[in-house]
Copies of this chain bind each other. A is one copy, B any other.
Amino acid sequence: MTSTDARGRRRPADKFEDRRRELADAALQTLATLGYARTSLREIAQNSDFSHGVLHYYFRDKVELITYCVQRFKTQCVERYDAVATHATAADALARDAGDGLAATLESDALMHRLWYDLRSQSMFEESFRLDVGEIDAGLERMIWRIVTTYAHLSGREPACTSATAYAAFDGLFQQALLRHLAADPEALDDLRAGTRLLLERLV
């Protein structure tokens, strides 16, 4: 049902899913630039190759589109953050790489991270987002915990906090850095790097 035939043509079910992905990407781009509150279906369609009516051919309503976007955003997040998982062999090198990695993705994907915090705030009001948002948060928590446990192992120590506490602290650090970076604070990235090293050292 999801395979291709002998001539390499996609089967109908695949085409349908491909178009959904294409429209969801246009929606994500619009959401990242305008924010959830100001994003309309017509604006999304204008950022794609299609007219606004086609959105209801591929999605039942706006909620299904946004939900699909959140899920798609999640997979992009996991891919992006897995790249941060380093292969360092020394504790201080790992701490430096982690700080650099977080600062790099904050700078290059600032708009997407901004959207993430916007959608997570929306999930506090709109229950239909909560499941997907919770799964993204869980994935990020695992990513942070991998770094913390690796750092602990490399330095011959044990983590001094739970996985949830470690993620909460790093997420707060990242969010503050993003806020200041978007407000054109030139020290935001350096403070994120320094804060990452300090938190790693203090939490294990």
Is the pair B175, A168 in contact by a Cβ cutoff of 8 Å?
A: yes
Q: Is the Cβ of B179 less than 8 Å from the Cβ of A120?
A: yes
> In A24-54, which residues have CB < 8 Å from any B CB?
34-38
Q: Does A132 contact B (CB under 8 A)?
A: no
B residues less than 8 Å from A168 (CB atoms): 169, 172-173, 175-177, 195
Stoichiometry, copies per complex: 2
Number of interface residues of A (CB under 8 A): 44
**Given the known A-B contacts A34-B125, A124-B178, are A173 and B183 also in contact in the complex, defined by CB atoms under 8 Å?**
no
Task: Provide the residues of chain B in CB contact with A34, threshold 8 Å.
Answer: 125
From B114, B125, B164, B198, A124 is in contact (CB under 8 Å) with B114
Q: In the assembled complex, how far is the CB of residue A47 from the closest CB belonging to chain B, in whole angstroms?
A: 16
17 additional A-B pairs beyond A168-B176, A168-B195, A171-B175, beta carbons within 8 Å, are: A35-B124, A37-B37, A37-B125, A117-B124, A118-B122, A124-B178, A160-B198, A161-B198, A162-B195, A164-B195, A165-B191, A168-B169, A168-B173, A171-B172, A172-B172, A202-B202, A202-B203
